[in-house]
Amino acid sequence: MERQLADGTLVTEVRRLIDTAANERLRWIRANARTAMADSRQDAVTISALTGIAVGTVKGFLEQRDTSIKNVVLIAVALGLSAGDLERPPADFAELLQRRRSPQAGHAGLPE
């Protein structure tokens, strides 16, 4: 470990691990935002109108282009979610959406 510290490879490896984890979470956020948009029947134009983010920016983010964290939070809030809701594995996010769709016990559902 001392050698890795001295030659900088430890820092490089830690950075690589952090980058890998961050990229995985970013993939989850994008996939979950797309899923939430489909689930709520919203598109990039609707999200743009609700948030003031350009349509191209919304589409670009969903298709792998980076954007600011503020834009991500705006997209999440427009979908009725938090950034934390989006930052979870897609299977967990699907369960979250399912729970939100299910009427709560003791509450009358509204007619569609």
Q: Report whether 33 contacts 75 (CB < 8 A).
A: yes
CA atoms of 61 and 59, how far apart (whole Å): 5
Say whether pLDDT at 105 is over 60: no
CA atoms of 44 and 62, how far apart (whole Å): 9
pLDDT tens figures, 20-50: 999 999 999 999 999 999 999 999 999 999 9
pTM value? 0.82
101 pLDDT tier (thresholds 50, 70, 90): confident
CA atoms of 16 and 41, how far apart (whole Å): 37
| Structural domains of the chain in order of their starting residue, each with its CATH number | 2-97 (1.10.260.40)
Residue 107, pLDDT score: 54
pLDDT tens figures, 38-96: 999 999 999 999 999 999 999 999 999 999 999 999 999 999 999 999 999 999 999 99
CA atoms of 65 and 59, how far apart (whole Å): 9
* Tokens at 99, concatenated: 């729970």
Q: Report whether 53 contacts 79 (CB < 8 A).
A: no
CA atoms of 25 and 83, how far apart (whole Å): 11
Say whether pLDDT at 112 is over 70: no
Say whether pLDDT at 109 is over 70: no
